[in-house]
Amino acid sequence: MDKIKIGVIGTGRIGQMHVENLANMRDNFEVTAIADPYAPNLAELAQKYQIPHYTNDYEKVLADPQIQAVVIASATNTHATIIEAAAKQNKSIFCEKPLAEDVPQIKQLLQVVKDNGTCLQVGFNRRFDHNFKQIHDYVKAGQIGTPQIIKISSRDPEPPSIDYVKVSGGLFNDMMIHDFDMARYLSDSEVVEVNAQGAVLVNPEIGEVGDIDTAIVTLKFANGALGVIDNSRQAVYGYDQRAEVFGSKGQAVSTNDRLNNVELDQNENVQLSEIPFFFIERYQQAYRDEFQAFYEAVTKKQAPVVDGLDGLKAVEIARACDQSLKTHQAVKL
Amino acid sequence: MDKIKIGVIGTGRIGQMHVENLANMRDNFEVTAIADPYAPNLAELAQKYQIPHYTNDYEKVLADPQIQAVVIASATNTHATIIEAAAKQNKSIFCEKPLAEDVPQIKQLLQVVKDNGTCLQVGFNRRFDHNFKQIHDYVKAGQIGTPQIIKISSRDPEPPSIDYVKVSGGLFNDMMIHDFDMARYLSDSEVVEVNAQGAVLVNPEIGEVGDIDTAIVTLKFANGALGVIDNSRQAVYGYDQRAEVFGSKGQAVSTNDRLNNVELDQNENVQLSEIPFFFIERYQQAYRDEFQAFYEAVTKKQAPVVDGLDGLKAVEIARACDQSLKTHQAVKL
Amino acid sequence: MDKIKIGVIGTGRIGQMHVENLANMRDNFEVTAIADPYAPNLAELAQKYQIPHYTNDYEKVLADPQIQAVVIASATNTHATIIEAAAKQNKSIFCEKPLAEDVPQIKQLLQVVKDNGTCLQVGFNRRFDHNFKQIHDYVKAGQIGTPQIIKISSRDPEPPSIDYVKVSGGLFNDMMIHDFDMARYLSDSEVVEVNAQGAVLVNPEIGEVGDIDTAIVTLKFANGALGVIDNSRQAVYGYDQRAEVFGSKGQAVSTNDRLNNVELDQNENVQLSEIPFFFIERYQQAYRDEFQAFYEAVTKKQAPVVDGLDGLKAVEIARACDQSLKTHQAVKL
Amino acid sequence: MDKIKIGVIGTGRIGQMHVENLANMRDNFEVTAIADPYAPNLAELAQKYQIPHYTNDYEKVLADPQIQAVVIASATNTHATIIEAAAKQNKSIFCEKPLAEDVPQIKQLLQVVKDNGTCLQVGFNRRFDHNFKQIHDYVKAGQIGTPQIIKISSRDPEPPSIDYVKVSGGLFNDMMIHDFDMARYLSDSEVVEVNAQGAVLVNPEIGEVGDIDTAIVTLKFANGALGVIDNSRQAVYGYDQRAEVFGSKGQAVSTNDRLNNVELDQNENVQLSEIPFFFIERYQQAYRDEFQAFYEAVTKKQAPVVDGLDGLKAVEIARACDQSLKTHQAVKL
């Protein structure tokens, strides 16, 4: 199996990006179908990337015996149904996070995936970031010894619209979920307790619809390490994505990315380069590299780097934070 | 009053450093007496710095009408008594932290200081560090807008002896107390709630004597901001002292100091400079600058940059953390 | 004209990279033909990128009236002939550097290009590097005022084979030629005098075949600025590409790229990330962006960012350096 | 010999700084006399630092048998006479650079020093800078292998007055002389050839009085390495002092110092810390450390780190640059 024949279900912004990345990976993938119930530009998209089939009905993609794998980038509330259907068709599955909105539903779909022996990779793209992967690799290689303190800062350049906030599931499920996965990835351990602090400091309207825009969560890990994540919906200086792991033999620390390495020195002014605007720009290469990993997992029949359990764990931690914030108490997992 | 005639009480390691710094500030200070009940080298010290009087009895220093100010660097359990006696003699007072070991005692001595209208500066030297002072100044000047997230990392290069740990008062009172003061200094606000997580990850013996060696504490501030402090008794790469304040208009972030700005690039190896060993080396200039501030406060009859209330607040926060660690609950102040 | 139908002549290492980059720019380019006299994998390449025509005879590409533009990535000694032929067929031309090996030949081909009113862009890819372009943009925008000192460091990770060195034309023509173009690009001025120092410090065999492996060249510019370029055939720590421009209002300085922003701190060891291996890796995005600029130039009928005169000037400066090295004297241009 | 009894001749700005530094080094030095023909504040200075003797006649200092060493910080045209007189009195000598204004005079005084077996250290303070000393130490320890390229940037924050420029001896003798010494120090080799480029880009008046304000000099070293120094009389962003040594095993590179390690990130603005204003601020610690080295040399009867030959060589290189600039040709030493 040289190339994987793959279909992409859901061709919104992220789905289109996936189509382009897969189309450019000519040695590994052949995009043979795209599906979206609404997208008006399906035909155009198919033509641009020379994709033979396009349809409004994803079931046609799943029914195509030539298609070996699918990317699910449709609305979150459709993930569970499509994953289960794809698993039953023995397709390898790449699904955008979150797998589903509630924990029992995820557990059920994971059982279906397991029963069908299907490969399922979840779209936690940040694991493939050049900085975070390097920290993880140092930890894995024992370069920092036993992890003791894990710190993650994750701040968006601007808050989403209030309409989005209303349906987002809240900051922990919508935003910090990436950091929960990152905490597990960097620490190489499971989160066993959370303690959440939240505040509305960016936009009062976010508070009015029952959400927070600023949060600090402390974590305890199974291996004894402590952790802390901070989130803000608005860093006016730009998208801020940093992490550090401190351990018995040292620490690995990343600074935020900038677009270039030029420093401008003027009288009373120093200017460093701009920051990549948001996740699409910052994680551009990571979005490509997660498919390389998916290719390896599928062709070598290995466990994917981010599997269904990872998808489940992040949601469980988010739910525990919701509870901690409400009860003002630590919540064990 | 051009020069302040000053006496130094307690000539251990820190006391001697203070003597040297004061002796070098020839325009501002004249060290006219030193006192220590035990120090065998008092005469030698007096000769080296050309100090006219030395004694085993600090009361002689306080009784000298020519002496305008005293530095108290004696054992912690003597601070309260000496401060009160000095205040009654109308001496300006510079006292090493902590002011005393328990909150009621501190409150009482602050009352005595107040009743006598004496200047009292507490030795939170880190407020005078080039990095932390710069962050504070940016916050004060409104450069980062309203503070929203305050983060402080403070890690020692090596743990103290178990004998020291036993009498230290515990990590929060002995080590993180500096960071509690820093949190107040950087946020320009009061801490209203703490939530402490602790662990024994460096040395099991520290746990056996009832202390912790690794901790993460989250803070809530009166102005609504959230904060987090992490401490470790052992950073194998060296003394690590960093802080950042994030706000509505931006952030100010410091990296750790190194001894020089040289990068060595070799095949498969990059070497940056060493880190200043410990607090004496890292805060060398800060220890000098705190006396410059004391000079300004005394001669201009201004409130000192770090006053008795600051000394009290840090101890109160430490006590609250002790309680939070024990009860696994948030503690309000 | 939405998409440019383009042919690629020469499908060696660089030619193949150009094919891939053009194939991925689906909105702007359509690769309709590739040509190479020897390449055994032409058919395979055509299939991979879905290119309708492939041939051993580049004249067929030039004769195809549907093809609007060509990329010339063939052997240097074929450039002049192909450029002239392409110009006469009114193709827009993107040609790898150097345009030709000697100055009169370049002047002649530029005349042909001019007579035919054709767009000619030269492959000085470094102008599109994120760092160097930023410095250039700061200079252009007046941020550093009048340029006074231009400094460029350019060092390869490992020397080429002696066989390559023998036919390379020498360090100035083969390697520093990029920096001569960079000096003109960054200073926004012409080089009017050079003074070359060279040495054989890396590999004595390079000296035995009449070349140097280490060089420092000083430059004088028409606008009065001074400049200096240093080259080494071997930086054991990796490919080193830096520049700075100092002027009346400030300076813009770039540091070398690394693969990520992670710092590993251990006891007695600090590790920064690896450096991108060589030009293919370092200038990956620049190789893409130069085609974006070519697209703009062709479709908007603008002068290309790097034109034929730029190709000529760099060769002239290299020749002057050869002479300066030989005569131990400054050479005016 | 525990403490060196030392006299300071010349109590202008630099002389006073030396007095303070020596007075603070209580374990090593005892300043027993100061001399200056004009200084109106001699008595006050003596009182402040508790120096027993002060005089307008430096010969009295030299005649005092209790004084073991002298610091010469008087006007340059008095250096030779005082050095010779001090040498004849067997005083150890620390003399500010330059030793004298012309080469034969320096050679003569070095002979007198040699004949009297006296220790002579020259005030090239930059050798004691934390950055430059680190680079030197890496080179000495073989960490960069054989030096191949030495680069030094040295730029003042503002040009001196035209009156000063007139009597300065020119940029090479007044300013770049420090860098000539640095080039020898960092390369651990002798300069054998120079090639000087100069320009008037900062202030036309500097050109009118026959000097330059911007210069690039290339160097050849006895060990085969190449070097380059750039100077500007005006870096509007502040005093800029950097160096790098590139060799067969790697490179050591320093960035410029800043007052602290804080980065302020705002929307469309990033602010790094200020740069130390000028040499007094930047080399504050180096000015102290050069006396520590002097103490070691005198008490251990070792050759000083910067000796008379170093003082001679720097002047010789400056003279060669004057000639190269005039003749537009390389000048061999």
Q: What is the pLDDT of residues D89-140, one digit of tens each?
A: 999 999 999 999 899 999 999 999 999 999 999 999 999 999 999 999 999 9
Nearest chain B residue to A237, by CA? B250
Task: Show the CA angle centred on residue B232, arms to residues B229 and B234, nearest 5°.
Answer: 155
Q: Residue D87 is encoded by which pair of tokens?
A: 């040498």
d(CA A187, nearest CA chain B) in Å: 14
Q: Which helix (H) or strand (E) holds B119?
A: none
User: Measuring CA to CA, which residue among C232, C14, C275 is closest to residue C123?
Assistant: C14
Q: Which helix (H) or strand (E) holds A31?
A: strand A29-35
> Going residue by residue through chain A (333 aa), what tens digit of pLDDT does each one get?
589 999 999 999 999 999 999 999 999 999 999 999 998 899 999 999 999 999 999 999 999 999 999 999 999 999 999 999 999 999 999 999 999 989 999 999 999 999 999 999 999 999 999 999 999 999 999 999 999 999 999 999 999 999 999 999 999 999 999 999 999 999 999 999 999 999 999 999 999 999 999 999 999 999 999 999 999 999 999 999 999 999 999 999 999 999 999 999 999 889 999 999 999 999 999 999 999 999 999 999 999 999 999 999 999 999 999 999 999 999 999
Report CB contact under 8 Å: D264, B252: yes
**Touching chains, D (3+ CB pairs < 8 A):** A, B, C
DSSP bridge partners of A151: A228, A244
- A·B CB contacts under 8 A: 101
How does pLDDT run across D229-288, given as a tens digit for each residue? 999 999 999 999 999 999 999 999 999 999 999 999 999 889 999 999 999 999 999 999
D261, D267, D269 ranked by CB distance to B131: nearest: D261
Distance (Å) of CA C88 to CA A219, C67, C85 = 70, 13, 5
**Confidence check: pLDDT of D1 > 80:** no
Which residues, 6 or more positions from B326, have their beta carbon under 8 angstroms from its beta carbon?
none
Strands A269-271 and A262-266: antiparallel
User: Measuring CA to CA, which residue among A89, A88, A97, A139 is closest to residue A115?
Assistant: A88
Residue A183 has a pLDDT of 98
Across chain D, mean pLDDT equals 96
Question: Could you tell me the end-to-end alpha-carbon distance of chain B, in angstroms, rounded to an integer?
Answer: 41
d(CA B163, nearest CA chain D) in Å: 33
Helix (H, G, I), strand (E, B) or coil at A185: helix
Report CB contact under 8 Å: D252, B260: no
D237, D266, D272 ranked by CB distance to A237: nearest: D266
Distance (Å) of CA B221 to CA A320, B86, B271, B313 = 24, 34, 40, 13
**Confidence check: pLDDT of B1 > 60:** no
pLDDT band at C37 (very low <50, low <70, confident <90, very high): very high
Phi, psi of B108 (to 5 degrees): -65, -45
DSSP 8-state secondary structure symbol assigned to residue C167: H
How does pLDDT run across C277-322, given as a tens digit for each residue? 999 999 999 999 999 999 999 999 999 999 999 999 999 999 999 9
What mean pLDDT comes out for the span B144-155?
A: 98
Strands C269-271 and C262-266: antiparallel
Nearest chain C residue to D221, by CA? C199
Q: How far apart are CA A296 and CA A291, in angstroms?
A: 9
pLDDT band at B124 (very low <50, low <70, confident <90, very high): very high
Contact predicate A203/A214, CB 8 Å: no
**Confidence check: pLDDT of D176 > 70:** yes
Contact predicate B80/B58, CB 8 Å: no
Report CB contact under 8 Å: A218, B225: no
B174-179 long-range contacts, CB within 8 A, separation 24+: B175/B231, B175/B233, B176/B215, B176/B217, B176/B229, B176/B231, B176/B318, B176/B321, B177/B97, B177/B98, B177/B314, B177/B315, B177/B317, B177/B318, B178/B97, B178/B124, B178/B126, B178/B154, B178/B314, B179/B152, B179/B154, B179/B229, B179/B231
**Confidence check: pLDDT of C1 > 80:** no
Residue to test with chain B: of A146, A194, A202, A218, most B Cβ within 10 A: A218
Report CB contact under 8 Å: C262, A135: yes
Residue B39 has a pLDDT of 84
Strands A214-221 and A250-254: unpaired
Residue type, D2: D
Helix (H, G, I), strand (E, B) or coil at A89: coil
What mean pLDDT comes out for the span D309-330?
A: 96
**Model-level ipTM above the cut of 0.90:** yes
Could you give the domains of chain A? 4-118 (3.40.50.720), 127-283+313-332 (3.30.360.10)
Report CB contact under 8 Å: D237, A267: yes
Report CB contact under 8 Å: B224, A232: no
Report CB contact under 8 Å: B201, A248: yes
B48, B257, B262 ranked by CB distance to D135: nearest: B262
How does pLDDT run across C56-99, given as a tens digit for each residue? 999 999 999 999 999 999 999 999 999 999 999 999 999 999 99
**Touching chains, A (3+ CB pairs < 8 A):** B, C, D
Residue type, B135: I
Report CB contact under 8 Å: C220, D197: yes
D250, D262, D269 ranked by CB distance to B265: nearest: D250
B148, B151, B216 ranked by CB distance to A226: nearest: B216
The verdict on whether omega for the bond into residue C276 sits within 30 degrees of 0, i.e. cis, is no
Contact predicate A196/A179, CB 8 Å: no
Residue D243 has a pLDDT of 98
Is the CA virtual torsion A205, A209, A212, A213 positive or negative? Answer: negative
Is the CA virtual torsion B41, B42, B43, B48 positive or negative? Answer: positive
Chain C residues with CB-CB distance to A24 below 8 A: 24
How does pLDDT run across C103-115, given as a tens digit for each residue? 999 999 999 999 9
Contact predicate D249/D170, CB 8 Å: no
Nearest chain B residue to A155, by CA? B246
DSSP bridge partners of B155: B232, B240
User: Measuring CA to CA, which residue among C76, C122, C125, C120 is closest to residue C102?
Assistant: C76
Residue to test with chain D: of A265, A266, A273, A275, most D Cβ within 10 A: A265
